[in-house]
Amino acid sequence: MNSLDINQIKQYLPHRYPLLLVDRVLDWESGKRLTAIKNVTVNEEFFNGHFPHKPVMPGVLMIEALAQASALLAFLSIGQKPDDNAVVYFLGIDGARFKRPVEPGDQLRMEIEILRHARGIWKFHARALVDEQLAVEAELMCTMRSIAEPAAAD
């Protein structure tokens, strides 16, 4: 079984608190799939405003968590850790569907599957479950690019 703790995840993702949204990788298979978790706690910054009377995790952050898990799978599959000159960009989100609210105390179980990888473009089927109930699913596309060096000043 291949797993990663938070310190290992931070070697692959540039995100940090409060935007690092993957707490643990439970299992992954190179070039195929990854299962990860995000523990949703009442202390999350976004709950202060979304919504004070009924805290709900914003859908855009659920998609971001899936995107981060997808990027992890891509890096693990090519056997490469990103450096300061690499970044992963979203290219598209298709068929996003939100099936249930995610609240403090929930644990998102993210399941990522590579659908395609060609010419530097990755396509994933991503879904997150809470207590075996589907919370969100989407197809995500991304690419890895080098960050252009800034032009030298004269």
Q: Is 53 a catalytic residue?
A: no
C-alpha separations of 23 from 56, 123, 147 in Å: 19, 23, 26
Report the DSSP beta bridge partners of residue 86. 146
Q: Report the alpha-carbon distance of residue 108 to residue 98 in Å, rounded.
A: 13
CB 99 within 8 A of CB 108: no
Question: Hey, which bits of the chain come out as E strands?
Answer: 24-29, 33-39, 86-98, 107-118, 121-130, 133-146
Q: Amino acid identity of 7?
A: N
Catalytic residue among 15, 50, 53, 125: 50
Catalytic positions, please?
50
